[in-house]
Amino acid sequence: MSAKFDQIAVGDELTPADISVTRADLIRYAGASGDFNVIHWSERIATSVGLPGVIAHGMYTMALGGRYVGEWAGDAGAVVEYGVRFTNPVPVPDDDAGATVTFSGKVTATDEATRTATVTLTALCDGQKVLGKAIAKVRLS
């Protein structure tokens, strides 16, 4: 979908999206980001420090939310501000399915002068919120 400023209103909801996160995704992200922290690839180390298993990089999960909003806007470059708080990890099982993060969003403000919309995101994995205070400002045509 490509959102247009004149076609949105406060209260509009974005279509939810399920995004799969696999161990292969974590490997690719580690290579791209340079974040090779062992909790993102070693089950033994992750569980030894009290995690439920290997977890996704927080910044990767955040990036998935940014991509979700960018796709809604029709242009990743339309996201002019974006911030989150990390509330829970995304455990990624060692199987072909991986974990599923479900993103949804709601337009919570608009600014006609700047043609921007503020979108509040929700990101859930196994029913738990994984991103808190996830807010994006999007400039729309």
How many other β-carbons are positioned within 10 Å of the β-carbon of residue 34? Answer: 7
Domain boundary assignment for the chain: 5-21+57-139
Mean pLDDT estimate for the chain: 97
How many other β-carbons are positioned within 10 Å of the β-carbon of residue 123? Answer: 25
In words, the CATH class of domain 5-21+57-139 is: alpha beta
Among left, alpha and beta (phi > 0; psi -120 to 50; other), residue 81 is beta
Instruction: Burial-class residue 117 by CB neighbours within 10 Å (0-12, 13-18, 19+).
Output: buried
pLDDT at residue number 67: 98
In this predicted structure, the answer to whether residue 1 has a pLDDT above a threshold of 70 is no
pLDDT digit string, tens, across residues 39-92: 999 999 999 999 999 999 999 999 999 999 999 999 999 999 999 999 999 999
Q: How confident is the model at residue 126 (pLDDT cuts 50, 70, 90)?
A: very high
Rounded CA gap, 39 and 68, in Å? 25
Question: Which CA distances in Å does 93 have to 46, 52, 89, 90, 123?
Answer: 12, 10, 12, 10, 18
pTM: 0.95
φ, ψ (nearest 5 deg) of residue 23:
-60, -35
